[in-house]
């Protein structure tokens, strides 16, 4: 594998410089400040629901570049799907005050015992995306913040969610989740597959920032076939409940 890691050379493009050039807040950098607690989501529908249940106010200074909302206890931000996008957004949030990061997204299950509508808390991730290799050595297995995991474990128990803690596989290539790969990663202990977690955890370890992901199982790759559950009533109910109580959990961080 090529070595993409270059930890000692100064980057020519920084989050501070780019953001101030492409946002309305560029003329007043103070207006770009965000909370220490960051909640990142990847779907516009999730952003809108969270903004509604928290009565969040749009942080217009970040327009038109990013969709950022100010909530009582945290900053809410939308990231496009994928590892490189998620880490770029995380870098920008960190540059303007973010210190504790939680991402809420979706994953496919690789195991029969992990079902759609259940929650997966990744404690570590297998890196089959490109972004993480710019932040950690290739042999490093990135791990989530143990403190954040414990908080979310306690919260999920209290709310009666079925959940699993374990390893996930993160890929850049949604259409290359092949039969052999699914079987291989499942055999290695992976519970699910997503497109952001390993990169975010790697970035967090490299920067000394607490990061954790909460994944709702949205589909299944078990048995050499894909079974989506996006319209499954149980999945939709769990998604709605998670999005309604996640803001309360952010206050504990």
CATH number of the domain at 228, please.
3.40.50.1580
Domain that holds residue 78: 15-25+33-250
How many structural domains is the chain composed of?
1
In a domain, 1, yes or no: no
User: What mean pLDDT value characterizes the chain?
Assistant: 97
In a domain, 10, yes or no: no
pLDDT of res. 97: 98
The four Cα atoms 243, 37, 62, 88 give a dihedral, to 10 degrees, of -90
User: Stretch 215-227: mean pLDDT, rounded?
Assistant: 98
Neighbours of 34 (CB within 10 A): 22
pLDDT band for position 1 (50/70/90)? low
With CA atoms as reference, report the closest residue to 212 among 81, 34, 37.
37
Q: ω before 74 within 30° of 0 (cis)?
A: no
User: Stretch 121-140: mean pLDDT, rounded?
Assistant: 98
In a domain, 6, yes or no: no
- Asked if residue 12 has pLDDT above 60, the reply is yes
- pTM, two decimals, is 0.96
In a domain, 8, yes or no: no
- Asked if residue 214 has pLDDT above 70, the reply is yes
Beta bridge partners of 97: none
């Amino acid at each position: 594998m090529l070595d993409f890691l270059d930890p000692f050379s100064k980057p020519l493009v920084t989050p501070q410089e780019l953001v101030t050039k492409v946002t309305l807040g560029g003329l007043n950098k103070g207006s770009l400040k965000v909370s220490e607690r960051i909640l990142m989501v990847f779907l516009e529908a999730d952003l809108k629901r969270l903004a509604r249940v928290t009565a969040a106010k749009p942080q217009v200074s970040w327009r038109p570049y990013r969709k950022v909302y100010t909530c009582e206890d945290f900053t809410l931000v939308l990231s496009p799907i994928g590892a490189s996008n998620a880490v770029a957004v995380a870098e920008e949030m960190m540059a303007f005050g973010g210190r504790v990061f939680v991402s809420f997204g979706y994953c496919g299950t690789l195991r029969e015992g992990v079902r759609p509508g259940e929650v997966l808390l990744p404690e570590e991730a297998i890196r089959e995306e490109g972004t993480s290799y710019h932040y950690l050595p290739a042999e490093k297995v990135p791990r989530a913040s143990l403190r954040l995991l414990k908080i979310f474990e306690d919260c999920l128990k209290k709310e009666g969610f079925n959940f699993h803690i374990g390893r996930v596989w993160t890929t850049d290539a949604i259409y290359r989740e092949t039969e052999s790969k699914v079987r291989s990663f499942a055999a290695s202990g992976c519970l699910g597959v997503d497109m952001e977690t390993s990169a975010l955890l790697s970035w967090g370890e490299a920067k000394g920032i607490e990061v954790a992901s909460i994944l709702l199982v949205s589909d299944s790759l078990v048995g050499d076939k894909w079974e989506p559950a996006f319209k499954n009533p149980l999945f939709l109910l769990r998604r709605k409940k998670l999005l309604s109580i996640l803001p309360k959990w952010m206050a504990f961080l």
